[in-house]
Amino acid sequence: MVMSRLPALSDRQGFDRRWYAPNLERVYAPANASEVTAAWKDVITRGGKTGELQITCGRHCYENFVYNPGTKYIIDMTGLRGVGSDPHYGYYIDVGYGNWDMYRMFNNMFDTTLPAGSCYSVGLGGHITGGGYGIFSRAFGLTVDYLSAVDVVAMPKGAPTPELYEKVSPVSHPDLFWALRGGGGGNFGIITRYYFQNTPKSPQYLYSTAFSVDWENISEDVFKNLLNYFTCFSQEGQDGNKEQWPSFGIFHANHLAAGKMVLAFYYFDAPSLGIQGPDYESYLHDKVKDQKKALSEIVSLSNEPGPIFGHPWYGTAELISPAKDSDTLRQLTFLEGVQNANGSGPNQFGKYKSAYMNKGFTDQMVSALYQHLQKVPAGLDKSDMSQSLCQIDSYGCAINQVGSTQTPIAQRSSIMKLQYQTYWDSSAAIGKDDKQLAQGLVGWIDKMYSAVYKDYGGFPDPRKDPNGVVDGCYFNYPDICLGVNGESSPGIENAMYLYFLENYDTGPAERNLSSIKSNWNPHNWFASAQSIPVKPE
């Protein structure tokens, strides 16, 4: 029998203090897939309706899709804790774990790893089915690129009750397997276990360095040159030169209130690619020296580490900078390097947006970013903006070796991935927010985003971009401003296209998220404002 209980206060709170479920009636805590099935059946017996039942693993949803006033039942997957090896489908891990757990166990048990996210507490359930990427993705691809099978509890068309489908694969259920490799959490069923094959051997080392720049030295031309430099870094390896793949860069384009911007770079050996040893380390030292020289020619670099509040969250760049001025890089073992980069930061209030880019920034985009990163909304103080930024991640390389229809993640030609972020804190009671702060900061990030993509209708919409600069958005960074169910301007079709492009509803039935959702979850369980819509009968 599945364990269920009345909710405690902590059960109502998401990992974003904006999201709270005041009307939660019951929490289920299954320990295995059979209990997950029983929990869903119990909700049905109790009369639960579409939108009232939600699933949680790590609680990191960027919108209130799980924790909201309409949520009455939650199945908390924390108790699913299996990990091991299957003779036919490779290594497996249950969804109760987070990213850090996966890195630690796969490395320590199997001497292998996955290219997943950095934030330790992000649950594997939603992270992986949304695509999954992180600092190892340029070398190894997306997490879903290694999926071989999935265990999932589903209630397809014609089924009277939910049931467990074990080892869903390209052979057993090719349509569902395809959809689960990037179609996002809450759309097709309740995933309980992931299986992976051909995973890369763990690196031995992780190296990092960071360069900070005082805002007072950043003119618009300097900002443009910094963006151009980062674009050039992101273009390295896109021609298939694998020697440049074991690298990842993050440009923390912080608001003026933060005082500095930071460019952070990560490098690692890649035994699976044959990239390791003293020659590689020597190459890295020369490369970072060249980076410092090139950046110094653009702008004077600061001697003090700048703030890093994005993902991963460090507080300052000190932890990823060389320990001594005479050092070129900070060198860590692979596992301690991942641990060093595993910060999710404190649970604050936040708002996020995303965009993929196939090419560098246009002059219009540079100007809009530069101007809005200095603005302070009416009614707020400059200090309120200190955790606001546009985080630009390098992307592509191994990711782009997979075709745009092989998984629901259609963005297989991008070289950068952007995450717009703003965070704030307040003394408001649990489940409440400082409305003035929230309205000011959410309004600021919305206006910046619209201004940056003005030439494309206010969104990174490739349909309105003849030059192929932008390429949509990331479903794991949901943003209700792209469009929601039940509203017409912009409607859910706009959001679905930006997330999945042609994979949403224009491909064949077995590679068409709209059709697969309608077949495998026709009653739209776990519905949210941005659920994939179910086709009407």
In this structure, are residues 483 and 490 in contact, taking their beta carbons and an 8 Å threshold? yes
Q: Report CA torsion sign: 413, 415, 417, 418.
A: negative
pLDDT of residue 1: 67
pTM exceeding the 0.85 threshold for the entire prediction: yes
Average pLDDT, whole number, for the chain? 96
Q: 16-20, 232-236, 342-346, 386-390: which has the minimum mean pLDDT? A: 342-346
Beta pairing partners, 212: 262
In the sheet where 163-168 sits, what is the strand order? 83-86, 90-94, 190-196, 147-154, 163-168
Mean pLDDT, residues 148-172: 98
pLDDT of residue 113: 98
- Contacts with 483 (C-beta within 8 Å, 6 or more apart), sequence order: 490, 491, 492, 493, 494, 495, 496, 530
pLDDT of residue 231: 98
Q: Render pLDDT for 498-514 as a digit per residue (tens, 0 to 9).
A: 999 999 999 899 999 99
Distance CA(191)–CA(177), nearest Å, equals 11
Q: Render pLDDT for 442-469 as a digit per residue (tens, 0 to 9).
A: 999 999 999 999 999 999 999 999 999 9
Mean pLDDT, residues 296-312: 94
Name the pLDDT band for 340 (thresholds 50, 70, 90).
confident
Q: Render pLDDT for 258-275 as a digit per residue (tens, 0 to 9).
A: 999 999 999 999 999 999
pLDDT of residue 310: 82
Residue of 63, 76, 62, 60 whose CA lies nearest to 24? 76
Distance CA(482)–CA(474), nearest Å, equals 11
Name the pLDDT band for 171 (thresholds 50, 70, 90).
very high
pLDDT of residue 354: 98
> How far from the centroid of its chain's Cα atoms is residue 185's Cα?
12
pLDDT of residue 84: 98
Residue of 186, 191, 250 whose CA lies nearest to 478? 186
Q: Report CA torsion sign: 446, 452, 455, 456.
A: negative
Distance CA(173)–CA(175), nearest Å, equals 6
Name the pLDDT band for 338 (thresholds 50, 70, 90).
very high
Distance CA(460)–CA(328), nearest Å, equals 37
> How far from the centroid of its chain's Cα atoms is residue 145's Cα?
15
The letter for the amino acid at 68 is: N
Residue of 293, 309, 322, 316 whose CA lies nearest to 254? 309
In this structure, are residues 171 and 152 in contact, taking their beta carbons and an 8 Å threshold? no
pLDDT of residue 342: 81
Mean pLDDT, residues 11-21: 97
Mean pLDDT, residues 524-532: 97
Percent of the chain with pLDDT over 90: 94
- CA distances (Å), 228 to each of 247, 293, 308, 359, 392, in order? 18, 15, 21, 10, 12
Helices (H), 428-484: 435-452
Q: Render pLDDT for 104-113 as a digit per residue (tens, 0 to 9).
A: 999 999 999 9
Distance CA(26)–CA(4), nearest Å, equals 7
In this structure, are residues 260 and 194 in contact, taking their beta carbons and an 8 Å threshold? no
Beta pairing partners, 419: 354, 391
Residue 98 has pLDDT above 70, yes or no: yes
Burial of residue 98, with CB atoms counted within 10 A of its CB: 0-12 exposed, 13-18 middle, 19 or more buried: buried
Rounded to 10°, the helix 220-235/278-298 angle is: 160
pLDDT of residue 312: 86
Count of CB atoms situated within 10 Å of the CB of 165 = 20
